[in-house]
Structure 1
Amino acid sequence: MHTSVESLFAALWQDYIQITPSAHAVHQLLAAEGEEIINDHVAFRTFDRAKINLDKLAAHFTALGYEAKGDYDFTAKKLTAKHFEHPNTTYPKVFISELRVDELSDQAVAIVDGLIAQIPDDAAQAKDFLYSGPQWQVSAKDYRTLLAESEYAAWMSAWGFRANHFTVSVNQLQSGLSLVEVNQVLKDNGFALNTSGGEIKGGEDVFLAQSSTMADRYQVKFSDETLEIPSCFYEFAQRYHLPNGELYHGFVAASADKIFESTNAM
């Protein structure tokens, strides 16, 4: 496992921008305006199977001092999630979700378990596990079968283990831009935004407003053919103060539910 938070996030970022060039472009666009980009959170996906479940991913962060803070349930998408924070609040929060595989059809369960069977038992302990990509072979046929049932399962089958998205902390933009203004800058520069549930999900009433780009499209070589499919996206989060004056650090399930759709194959 990594010995520092900095080295882990640096490795995750390099892997992420390889398949999400738009995030790098957004980063450069904001940096050109004099912004220093602070990450609000980084998100990961996995399956609820013992070798590679949520806890196995979380271990890489808890070993570096992160602590579990919130639990979330996405009934329609069949997901369980947790978020983690570091006592050093300058470090990004971490959001990890896992798919409740057994809630899928027998056919989909068989495909997922076939992928899991290809993973070494100790794979999750490797230093580079969180950005190791798919540790299996999968066919485009099986990808399509999963996609018909669960976009999340299909995405995992194609992309495996890596950051699903990084998130710009709008609160920490030196220019003082609001999320509405950030979205306008993105649109003015040709970036497509996720409009599921509105361009902005949440708001001051739930103490968190979020928006995101739509995922880039990238060529993936499956075992039987190559397809161009959605990869990863870039999120933007503006947090508001609670009645007690503290900044809200959690997540809003109803909003996150729509953010997941940034990787939908439109």
Structure 2
Amino acid sequence: MTTNQLLSKLWEQYAAITPSATKIHDLLEKKGEQIKNDHIAIRTFNDQRVNIKVIEKLFLEVGYEEKGEYFFDSKKLFAKHYEHSTDKNAPRIFISELELENCSPELQAIVNDILDSCNPEIFNTPELVLSGAVWKTKSLAVYNLLLDESEYAAWMYVYGFRANHFTINANALKGFNSLQDLNNFIEHSGWTLNASGGKIKGTPAQLLEQSSTLADMHSVNFDESTLQIPSCYYEFALRYPMSNGELYQGFIAASADKIFESTDAKFMNNN
């Protein structure tokens, strides 16, 4: 599999449950913009069967290299970001994992049971990151138990291994003078932005500004009933030059912490 094939498959899966992303993408293209991706985010658990070391394999095979590490203590998450070794136009990859050892015994037991229910061979599949929820059932009761402690874990239970969000590279847009201008356009076009920590997370002094839509609502068929729950969102990132003149390539943990809340239904209801 080539880099482009992998990225295309990730986009297809993401767009299938995030129709707003396709609409925003098309709307910007109609304005004459050429859309470039800043980064793609993936979620997982830190169980040795599916942790970052497992999920990163396919990206490493197509030429990505590990570049940075990030900790999110309040959400019990750890993450790494990757950049392509030769294709500077390829989006960064951001992979996070839930630190199960810092979660309750109850949540740990649920996640272990979920993974135990799978054919172990699926975890050795090179394309695991494209496989979605590989476990056999979707119980609303289990979803709600996870949701009480970790929205991240509940999201993973429903959606599994796929892109959690794509991110428009605002530096590549020609018709907007700032991220605020882009935000105004997105809001005036009918979408609601994640306002946690402010609609723009980060500052020029931190060399990165980020904003995002709230996640789309997607109909999920649980064993007990069908329910609309948050799926994925579209992010926007504007990077600033470092002292050497090159754009900053990393991420700001405090900003990303707030971006994670774009899929949190409790927060969405109060946005």
Give your verdict on TM over 0.5: yes
Residue 126 of structure 1 is matched in structure 2 by 125
2:262 and 2:176 mapped to 1: Cα distance?
26
Q: Secondary structure at the match of 1:148?
A: helix
Residue 151 of structure 1 is matched in structure 2 by 151
Give the conservation status (yes or no) of the 8 Å contact 1:45–1:156.
yes
Q: CA deviation at 1:170?
A: 0.1
Gaps (5+ residues) in structure 1? none
Give the conservation status (yes or no) of the 8 Å contact 1:51–1:122.
no
The worse-fitting range, judged by mean Cα deviation, of 234-243 and 172-181 is 172-181
Q: Secondary structure at the match of 2:258?
A: helix
Residue 257 of structure 1 is matched in structure 2 by 257
Residue 95 of structure 1 is matched in structure 2 by 94
Deviations 1:31-69 (A, max 9, x none): 110111000000000000111111111101000110000
TM-score by length of 1: 0.97
The worse-fitting range, judged by mean Cα deviation, of 217-226 and 126-135 is 126-135
5 Å matches for 1:212-231? Answer: 212-231=212-231
Residue 38 of structure 1 is matched in structure 2 by 36
5 Å matches for 1:74-223? Answer: 74-87=72-85, 88-136=87-135, 137-223=137-223
Q: Secondary structure at the match of 1:94?
A: strand
Q: CA deviation at 1:245?
A: 1.4
1:115 and 1:224 mapped to 2: Cα distance?
17
Q: CA deviation at 1:73?
A: 0.6
Q: Secondary structure at the match of 1:201?
A: coil
Residue 12 of structure 2 is matched in structure 1 by 14
Q: Secondary structure at the match of 2:182?
A: helix
2:123 and 2:7 mapped to 1: Cα distance?
17
The worse-fitting range, judged by mean Cα deviation, of 233-242 and 99-108 is 99-108
Percent of aligned positions with the same letter in both sequences? 48
2:54 and 2:175 mapped to 1: Cα distance?
39
Give the conservation status (yes or no) of the 8 Å contact 2:58–2:127.
no
1:138 and 1:104 mapped to 2: Cα distance?
21
2:243 paired with 1:243: yes
TM-score by length of 2: 0.95
Q: CA deviation at 1:127?
A: 4.7
Q: 1:56 aligns with which of 42, 54, 59?
A: 54
Residue 70 of structure 1 is matched in structure 2 by 68
Give the conservation status (yes or no) of the 8 Å contact 1:202–1:210.
yes
2:101 and 2:115 mapped to 1: Cα distance?
14
Q: CA deviation at 1:227?
A: 1.3
1:74 and 1:248 mapped to 2: Cα distance?
20
RMSD, aligned CA: 1.1
Q: CA deviation at 1:176?
A: 4.4
1:85 and 1:12 mapped to 2: Cα distance?
16
Q: Secondary structure at the match of 2:133?
A: coil
Give the conservation status (yes or no) of the 8 Å contact 1:115–1:138.
no
Letter in 2 for 1:111: I
Q: CA deviation at 1:165?
A: 0.1
